[in-house]
Amino acid sequence: MSGINTALVKLREAKSVGYWPNRIVSELEYLYHLSQENGGKYDSLIAEAIKLLQAKQKDDGCITQSAANQVEEMLSAAGKDAKEYRMICAAHAHIDMNWMWPWNETVAITLDTFRTMLDLMNEYPEFTFSQSQASVYKIVEQYAPAMLEEIRQRVKEGRWEVTASTWVEADKNMPNGESMARHILYTKQYLSRLLDLDPDTLNLNFEPDTFGHSENVPEVLAKGGVKYYYHCRGDEGHNLQRWVAPSGQSVIVYREPFWYLGGIEPDMAFGVPSLCNKYRLKTFLKVYGVGDHGGGPTRRDIERIMDMNTWPIFPTITFGTFAEYFAAVEKGADSLPEVTGERNFIFTGCYTSQSRIKMANRKGEAALSEAEALTAVGKLAAGADYSKTAFAKAWQNVLFNQFHDIIPGSGVIDTREYAMGLFQETLAAADTSKKLALQAIASEIDTSRFLDPDDDIRESRSEGAGVGFGVQQFRLSQTSRGAGKTRVFHVFNHSLTAREDLAEIVVWDWEGEPENMVFQDEAGNVIDHQVLDFGTNFYWGHKFVVVLIPAKVPACGYSTYVLSEDADLSPQVVFPRDPRVETIDEPVLENANIRAEFDPVDCTLVSLVDKRTGQELVDPTVPAGVFRLISEDPIRGMTSWRVGRYMDIKDLVENVKITKLEKGVLRQFITYEVEFGSSKLEVSISLDGDSTQLKYSVKCDWHEVGRKGQVIPQLNFYLPLSYQCTAYKYDVPFGVLTRQPLDMDVPANSWAQALTSDGGQSLVRIVTDSKYGFRGTDDALAVTLIRSSYDPDPYPELGIHQFQFSICVDDKMSNRGLIENAATLNHPLTVISARPEKGNLPLSQGFLALKSGNAAVSAVKLAEAADDALIIRVYETEGQETPVELSFAQSIKSAVLVDLTENEVPGGSIDINGNEVSFQLAAHSVASLKVQLV
């Protein structure tokens, strides 16, 4: 056997360049591999053929056509076995969205590629082509509608295969579960309309270049009617497999054995017998075509496919589609090996690179989640406008930026600039819809009792003040609608659980005495408040003060709070502020639940005690809660893709300046700043009321630059813990995942928790508002904040960054509790100013609540095909079946379970009782409920 192989190698090395030598040697090599799969069946025949070729080559000086034909005749007995194997050649043009180029070049790439494909189809009637990504069809519709008609015709003929079930070939780790659902919803909705396709035929998720895959991908795909998955990276196991999600849902996966790019070469056939036999098939898939920058299959590829199919000792080679291949696989699907878990990790630097794009993704997802929920209930309760078209376009912006070279940060400056432009459009749409809906609700709330006939508002300057204020902090514009000394504010909560949290209220041009400022709830109870900005603050011709109040807001609803001036009710007693004695400034933040002590010199965390258990949570022997400047080794290259070895770690503890230490009635905080290199860090650490989390609000003016072959600078936050961390828990799309300690960055949607098996009751978690790269190892938690990679963008992070994260002290709460707790950072309460007026709604109202069930809510929206029905999407969090109960402010007319494309799921059992509905939610699963209200 080895002798034949050696002879074939020598024959190939010695063969003359030309068609016939290449053909016959390739046939022999294929037959050799086929023989090995059949116990050496053709070894002797191959050996004789090789001897004949060697003799002919010696006599003629080369392998001639005559010699090749003679050898083919000698091998003819093997022809039937050779042709039993079929190679389906599926043509594709991998088009990276804005990878190394701007949007206008992406448009040109797409249209130029498709023109070539259509021209080749005209010339070669057997040629077929497959193309993924809804976004490229959107390009054709928008920029070349005449070409769209040609594509439609080829689609009808079955020669142009649409392999898109997602808006782009997306990252599968950083987008949240709801984003994954929207990829399927909007892609099937758009392409079925655009190309007159049955949505069920859009059943392939084509992800050749995606950098890893979350474990719940099969659950999402299956719930969206997607049966097949094609990918290349993130796994080194089986090439064909059934990938099973924790829920039990599965998809058939083909992992490309070669690469997703390339041309047609004879050696593509050599592995066909072994791969086919391994999976009990006679059919093999070859994906070909020039890609990344488009281009697609070439004339040479087409001619070679047609020619090689005529070779007598070679597989049957045909043009074909992915659908044909997976249809063949389906016949033996029950015997495919099963795999579970995530298919990771690859390119871990992509969890951090280009942090602005990642911030845009998180903020965009959050803004749309809030806007859809509040606009939906606003429509049902107050007739607010709900534009499905506007929401779809905004979501498509978010989905586009989830392309596997955009959100990972592996693009150029043009990539980022276009992504951030789409982000601005997304926020404009989301915030506008949300604001108009809240104003519609507010106009129906009866606040007439707060009209003060003695309040002279003729000289008021407050109405219209604050236009645009807060938008840069990703809040709704805090425009004032009230006048005089009595002001009405409505606090909104989009989540399906009631919340008690601090709300920030901006008061504009208030002419009362600050010491007589009083806030009351709807029952008239005076509540505490804390002024955050002492003195007068100015903004575009108006003055303001920011006040904190403790707000209680019903699930998916609102509550009302009123500001007035009343010296008799004011809880504050004001004494002269001149100091009488000097006290020690203790850098300690403490409430009834936790006590955090900071080093008075460098503001590192020297103690963090859970007062409920008495447990010390940080390691006192090393700096904890410390920002670090890390120098990464760039020797591996591809610096935006890869986190380099840590060459040097410098704790940012020198020349720390504490600028504020305040112990307010509702919020305590320490503010400090530190300069390092050419950069500056400003940090505010706060502790609210009875909270169990330390919130870090960070502003970093970053000027550290990566230098080729020298260094990649990284800003990192590090938290060594006092207990042994046996594993780490992370939130992932539509679920929670536990991983073993790993000395590498790993992805999470927003948080990581350090677990222990020693019986400790308190655990520590880091929750972020815009970061994705975490590292859990060596009894510590770390989050990577900024990385100055230098390729392909040499200066990706220069400038000012603002972000937040929290250190959370958790008891052993449920996964649902962890998810909801983290949501408070990513979804602060929303406040709007309103005028006192008559209305039909009460001062406090909840519209929709998750009453019970181990479930987290990912979406509340209007149904795509109905204006009087809601879609509520939930996912199970604890790994066991659970009853889920929802209550509404109105009676329920009907309720059914639907899939991610909002088609009814047969067999779902729903119980309706007045304004409540309940159903069973399977372990680890996602469910979508469509509810029509009376």
The string of DSSP codes covering 573-634 is -----S-SS------EEE-SSEEEEE-TTT--EEEEEETTTTEE-B-TTS-BSEEEEEEE--
570 pLDDT higher than 60: no
When mean pLDDT is compared over 15-29, 214-228, 255-269, the highest value belongs to 214-228
Which range has the worst mean pLDDT, 174-178, 541-545, 800-804, 871-875? 541-545
Question: ∠ at Cα 808 (802, 811), nearest 5°?
Answer: 165
Judge whether residue 890 has pLDDT over 90. Answer: yes
Q: Is the pLDDT of residue 460 over 90?
A: no
Is residue 457 very low, low, confident or very high in pLDDT (cuts 50, 70, 90)? confident
Model confidence at 1: pLDDT above 60? no
pLDDT band, very low/low/confident/very high, at 15 (cuts 50, 70, 90): low
pLDDT reading at 692 higher than 90? yes
262: confidence class by pLDDT, cuts 50, 70, 90: confident
Any idea what DSSP says for residue 709?
A: T
Question: What is the mean predicted confidence (pLDDT) over 603-609?
Answer: 97
pLDDT for res 643: 97
pTM attached to this predicted model: 0.96
* pLDDT recorded at residue 233: 93
Q: What is the pLDDT of residues 44-54, one digit of tens each?
A: 999 999 999 88
Residue-level pLDDT at 819: 98
Residue indicated by tokens 């930026």: 401
Mean of all residue pLDDT scores within the chain: 95
- Quick check: 306 pLDDT over 80? yes
Q: Which residue has the tokens 């990539």?
A: 415
pLDDT at residue 17 greater than cutoff 80: no
Cβ contact 820:390 at 8 Å = no
Q: What is the pLDDT of residues 608-621, one digit of tens each?
A: 999 999 999 999 89
State residue 471's pLDDT score.
92
Question: Does residue 573 surpass a pLDDT of 60?
Answer: no
pLDDT tens digits, one per residue of 89-137: 999 999 999 999 999 999 999 999 999 999 999 999 999 999 999 999 9
Q: Report the pLDDT value the prediction gives residue 581, as an integer from 0 to 100.
A: 80
Q: Taking residues 466-489, what's their average pLDDT?
A: 94
Establish how many alpha carbons lie within 13 A of residue 193's alpha carbon, considering only the half-sphere containing its beta carbon. Answer: 7
- Which residue from 388, 380, 477, 379 is spatially nearest to 427, judged by alpha carbons? 477
Does the pLDDT of residue 574 top 70, yes or no?
A: no
pLDDT at 578 over 90: no
Q: What CA–CA distance (Å, rounded) separates 784 from 546?
A: 31
- Can the peptide bond before residue 598 be classed as cis, meaning omega within 30 degrees of 0? no
Say what the pLDDT of residue 14 is. 63
Residue 398 CB: number of other CB atoms within 10 A?
A: 25
Residues facing 507 on adjacent strands: 545
Is 577's pLDDT higher than 80? Answer: no
Give pLDDT, residue 16.
57
pLDDT > 70 fraction of the chain, expressed in percent and rounded: 98
pLDDT mean over 754-760? 85
653 SS3 class: coil
- What digits encode the pLDDT tens for the residues 493-528? 999 999 999 999 999 999 888 889 999 999 999 999
Please, which pLDDT band fits residue 575 given cuts at 50, 70 and 90? low
Encode pLDDT of 383-439 as tens digits.
Answer: 999 999 999 999 999 999 999 999 999 999 999 999 999 999 999 999 999 999 999
Q: Express each pLDDT in 533-550 by its tens digit.
A: 767 789 999 999 999 999
* Host H or E run for residue 831: strand 830-834
pLDDT tens, 639-678? Answer: 999 999 999 999 999 999 999 999 999 999 999 999 999 9
Q: Which residue has the higher pLDDT, 569 or 907?
A: 907
Report the alpha-carbon distance of residue 49 to residue 52 in Å, rounded.
5
pLDDT band at residue 242 under the 50/70/90 scheme:
very high
Q: What's the pLDDT band for 2 if we cut at 50, 70, 90?
A: low
Could you give the percent of the chain with pLDDT greater than 90?
90
What are the tens digits of pLDDT across the range 320-365? 999 999 999 999 999 999 999 999 999 999 999 999 999 999 999 9
Residue 583: pLDDT above 60?
A: yes
- Spatial distance between the Cα atoms of 637 and 19, rounded to a whole number of angstroms: 39
Peptide bond into 792 cis (omega under 30): yes
Q: How confident is the model at residue 572 (pLDDT cuts 50, 70, 90)?
A: low
CA distance 440 to 622: 54
Question: Is the pLDDT at 855 greater than 60, yes or no?
Answer: yes
Split at pLDDT 50, 70, 90, the class of 812 is confident
